Amino acid sequence: MTEPSEFPHRVSLVIEDQRWEDIQLADIAAEAINSTLREYDANLIPCEIHLLATNDETIQKLNSKFRNENKPTNVLSWQSGELPFRN
């Protein structure tokens, strides 16, 4: 990402399609992630967030493979495990 996160979380962004660069997705994603994490402040154990900005062809292949839907979609997301919130 272009701006480092202010949180101890690991964030990676892979941009495969130039159109995402053109709209400055890295800056938009950094702000969205930091705003979301700010809402959870110290209650959230450090986590990893990985984003892939790609094209319709690639997202359709992923959607078909993981959701058995042979069409493009706006977002695919996976939770790597339970969210461990501290009490």
pLDDT of residue 66: 87
Any domain includes 76: no
Q: Helix or strand or coil: residue 52?
A: strand
User: Domain limits at 60?
Assistant: 10-67
Number of domains observed in the structure of the chain: 1
Say which range, 3-12, 15-24, 75-84, has the weakest mean pLDDT.
3-12
Contacts of 29-33 with C-beta under 8 Å, sequence gap 24+, read: 29/1, 30/1, 30/2, 30/3, 30/5, 33/5, 33/9
Quote the longest CA-to-CA distance of the chain.
43
Any domain includes 62: yes
d(CA 29, CA 6): 13
pLDDT of residue 2: 40
The pLDDT tens digits for 37-82 are 777 765 567 778 888 999 999 999 999 998 999 999 988 887 776 5
Q: Is the pTM of the predicted complex or chain greater than 0.75?
A: no
Residue 19 binned pLDDT confidence (cut-offs 50, 70, 90) = very high
Residue 17 binned pLDDT confidence (cut-offs 50, 70, 90) = very high
- In which residue are the tokens 């493009």 written? 72
d(CA 53, CA 15): 5
Any domain includes 59: yes
Judged against a pLDDT cut of 50, whether residue 30 lies above it is answered with yes
pLDDT of residue 57: 96
